[in-house]
Amino acid sequence: MNGMEYEVNCIGCGTSYIAHSSRDGYCPECKAKRAAQTRHRYYEKRKHEQKEAKRGLVDCVICGKLFNAVLSDQKRCPTCQLVHERDIKRANTIDYRRERYDCIQVKVPKGERELIKQIASDNGDTLQSLYTKGQKLYKALYALDQSDRDMILDILGVSL
């Protein structure tokens, strides 16, 4: 019976399609979808297992106390976690920031702001951390002798 073709109905979506068996099965589209779902489920299961494996007794990164991690990648013990969350909440209040930080405005050519943000985020930086890194590099660069500085700028292909 090789080479025979049958018109059968897809058990998934109900549309008829041509198959090499008279039994109803999945149409190519549903087959592909199901395969993708299986791959996704497998991936999720692996991820879950890897997370589970990381649970258990962990040293708190803040106080060093051994604690039972109920979540994967839990780095702080419950006590330090609470303090940490409170600190984050506080750090996000306008008053807190106003108290501790000054604001600098920098002018960039029209349209460049998004570009700079993009460059920063491509490297996992915020504008804030980009500024901090840039400032450190600047300081380090200008702490060098002129000749060393020129050499490094030459290697980087940057002129200041």
Pick the closer one to Zn ion by CB: 28 or 134: 28
Q: Contact between 69 and Zn ion (CB under 5 A)?
A: no
Q: Does 130 bind Zn ion (CB under 5 A)?
A: no
* CA distance linking residue 136 with residue 75, whole number of Å: 29
Ranges within 47-66 binding Zn ion (CB under 5 A): 60, 62-63, 65
Q: How far apart are CA 71 and CA 115, in angstroms?
A: 37
**Least Å from the CB of residue 8 to Zn ion:** 11
Considering only the stretches 35-43, 76-84, 113-121, 125-133, report the one whose residues sit in contact with Zn ion under the rule CB under 5 A. Answer: 76-84
Q: What does the alpha-carbon distance between residue 152 and residue 135 come to, in Å, rounded to a whole number?
A: 16
Dihedral-angle region of residue 154 (phi above 0 means left; psi in -120 to 50 means alpha; beta otherwise): alpha
30 is a contact residue toward Zn ion (CB under 5 A):
yes
The verdict on 77 binding Zn ion (CB under 5 A) reads yes
Other CB atoms within a 10 A radius of the CB of residue 99 amount to: 8
Amino acid found at 73 = D
Task: Check binding of 19 to Zn ion (CB under 5 A).
Answer: no
Q: CA–CA distance from 116 to each of 108, 119, 158 (Å)? A: 9, 5, 17
By CB under 5 A, which span of 6-14, 40-48, 50-58, 128-136 interacts with Zn ion?
6-14
10 is a contact residue toward Zn ion (CB under 5 A): yes
Cα angle vertex 22, ends 19, 28, to 5°? 30
Segment holding 40, helix H or strand E: helix 28-54
Output the smallest distance, CB 101 to Zn ion, in A. 28
Asked if 120 touches Zn ion (CB under 5 A), the answer is: no
Q: Least separation, in Å, of the C-beta of 155 and Zn ion?
A: 44
Binding site for Zn ion (CB under 5 A): 10, 12-13, 27, 30, 60, 62-63, 65, 77, 80
